[in-house]
Amino acid sequence: MKLAIVGATGVVGQTILTVLDERNVAVDRLFAYASRDRADGLAFRGATVPVVAAGTERILADAPDVAFFASSDDASAEMAEALAAAGIIVIDNSSTFRLDPRVPLVVPEVNPHAIRPHDRIFPVANCTAIVLCMALAPIFRNVVPQIGSFGGDGDTGEEQKVVAETRKMLERPDLRVAATTVRVPVRQAHSEAVFFETKRATSVALLGAAFDSAPGVVYHPHGIVTPRDVEGTDLVHVARVRPEEDSATHWQMWIVGDQLRKGAATNGVQILELLIAQGHLSAAGRGVPT
């Protein structure tokens, strides 16, 4: 398989390369692009890969099977659709296409069925929304969560992303979500205090069993988990699951996940693996025509 990374020298692009190597994804040839040519190139699997300036015509001429975008919204908006029209699978870490109704928004452990045979553009959701959906999906499959309330006025862009993208991934456009996001000085992990309401009465034991059986989720029935604990991993950790006072339907939990890996690079590579597993993309060639 020929694979391209736009934004290969950035932190997400570098993490994609790391995850591809860790997961032993077959890559016959790698094309690396950045905002300009880089004389020193980059290292991948013992070889030096040239880094050249990204441009639609150049990428089309190189003819990769898959193109990861780990760059700006502008780069994705400028190039992604042209590449997809040429049959190239695009896995995009920018926000450009996340809420576009023409494309799915996939977390492989949550909604792999959202992929359709004709899809060629696959956005990677906002990192905070991915971590949230990984923790909410097990509850949703057992007791249908309903999270707080959504006021609409005064929300930041990050909060709007969490609300809209969570609804799309869980396939619940009616889901009520309230989000408050805060920047804190951690290196590469997101933490979220989540308050949710279940449709019917449940228990810590039932919720814990749902988390224990969910792929990619680690449940901590006792103690806490911190951002430092999860750095460099691909799992979402859930801790401090507890009811609000005198309620069996109002709940709180603490969730933590690495935003560079599961929140970005790893989720993109998992989408690639899912496309291969579902037969939409062969391990050695272009997307399967429909």
Q: Which residues are catalytic?
A: 127, 190
Place of tokens 């959504």: 150
Task: For the beta carbon of residue 207, count every other beta carbon within 10 angstroms.
Answer: 23
> Of 39, 28, 35, 29, nearest to 13 (Cα)?
35
Tokens found for residue 60? 């089309």
Q: Which residues are CB-contacts of 65 (< 8 A; sequence separation ≥ 6)?
A: 1, 2, 3, 88, 89, 281, 285, 286, 287
Contact 248, 199 (CB under 8 A): no
Q: Could you give the CA distance from residue 150 to residue 139 in angstroms, rounded to a whole number? A: 20
